[in-house]
Chains A and B, each alone.
Chain A
Amino acid sequence: MLTSERSIARTRLHDRVFSIAGGLVTLGAVMFLGVLLFDLARDGLSRVDWQFLTSFPSRRPGQAGIFSAWVGSMLIMLVTAVTAIPLGIAAGVYLEEYARKNWMTSVIEINISNLAAVPSIIFGLMALGLFVYKFGFGQSILAGGLTLGCLILPIVIVATREALRTIPRGMREAAYALGATRWQVVRHHLLPYSTSGIATGVIIAMSRAIGETAPLITIGALTFIAFLPPAPIVTDPELMIQPLRWVWSPFTVLPIQMFNWVSRPGDDFLRNAAAAGVVLIALTLGMNAVAIVLRYRLRRRIKW
Chain B
Amino acid sequence: MTRGISTWAMVVIASFMSCATTVASGQARLIRIDGSSTVFPVTEAVAEEFQNSKRGLVRVTVGISGTGGGFKKFTRGETDVTNASRPISAEEMKAASENGVQYIELPICFDAITVSVHPQNTWCDSMTVEELKKLWEPAAQGRVTTWSQVREGWPSEKIELYGPGTDSGTFDYFTEAIVGKAKSSRGDFTASEDDNVLVRGIEGSKYALGYIPYAYYAPHASRMKAVKIDWEKDDLPAIEPSMENVVSGRYNPLSRPLFIYVNKESLQTRPEVREFVEFYIKNVPQLASEVKYLPLPSAAYEACLERVRKMQVGTAFAGHAEIGVSVEEIIRREPGVEARPSTGGGGK
Q: Which residues of A contact B (CB under 8 A)?
A: 57-59, 70-71, 74-75, 77-78, 81, 139, 187, 191-192, 195-196, 199, 217, 220-236, 239, 246, 250, 260, 262-268, 270, 290, 294, 298, 301
Q: In the complex, which of the residues B8, B73, B195, B216 contacts A199, with contact meaning CB atoms closer than 8 Å? A: B8
Complex: chain A residue closest to B23, CB-CB: A231
What is the distance, in angstroms, from B31's C-beta to the closest C-beta of chain A? 11
Q: In the complex, which of the residues B22, B48, B291 contacts A228, with contact meaning CB atoms closer than 8 Å? A: B22
Q: In the complex, which of the residues A231, A270, A301 contacts B24, with contact meaning CB atoms closer than 8 Å? A: A231
- In angstroms, Cα B219 to Cα A268, docked, is 10
Contact with A along B2-17 (1 / 0, CB 8 A): 1111001001110011
Q: A222-B61, A265-B213 are in contact. Are A74 and B41 (CB under 8 A)?
A: no
Contact A81 B12 (CB under 8 A): yes
- In angstroms, Cα B219 to Cα A65, docked, is 22
Residues of A contacting B215 with CB < 8 Å?
Answer: 265
- In angstroms, Cα B292 to Cα A191, docked, is 59
Contact B16 A231 (CB under 8 A): no
Residue of A217, A227, A229, A250 most packed against chain B (CB within 10 A) = A227
What is the distance, in angstroms, from B62's C-beta to the closest C-beta of chain A? 4
Residue of B37, B73, B287 most packed against chain A (CB within 10 A) = B37
Residues of A contacting B195 with CB < 8 Å?
Answer: 263, 265
Count contacts between A and B, CB distance < 8 Å. Answer: 138
Contact B292 A265 (CB under 8 A): yes
- In angstroms, Cα B215 to Cα A234, docked, is 44
Residues of A contacting B28 with CB < 8 Å?
Answer: 227
Q: In the complex, which of the residues B16, B37, B59, B290 contacts A227, with contact meaning CB atoms closer than 8 Å? A: B59
Q: How many residues of chain B are within 8 Å of chain A by beta carbon?
A: 53
Contact A246 B44 (CB under 8 A): no
- In angstroms, Cα B291 to Cα A298, docked, is 54
- In angstroms, Cα B9 to Cα A195, docked, is 11
Residues of B contacting A58 with CB < 8 Å?
Answer: 48
Complex: chain B residue closest to A298, CB-CB: B4
Residues of B contacting A223 with CB < 8 Å?
Answer: 40, 44, 62-64
Contact B59 A226 (CB under 8 A): yes
Could you show 18 A-B contacts with beta carbons less than 8 Å apart? A59-B291, A74-B16, A75-B16, A77-B16, A199-B4, A217-B64, A222-B34, A224-B40, A228-B22, A231-B21, A231-B23, A232-B20, A262-B196, A263-B195, A264-B41, A264-B196, A265-B195, A266-B219
Q: In the complex, which of the residues A74, A222, A236 contacts B19, with contact meaning CB atoms closer than 8 Å? A: A74
Contact with A along B40-78 (1 / 0, CB 8 A): 110111011001000010011111110000000100000
- In angstroms, Cα B2 to Cα A199, docked, is 13
Residue of B3, B63, B195 most packed against chain A (CB within 10 A) = B63
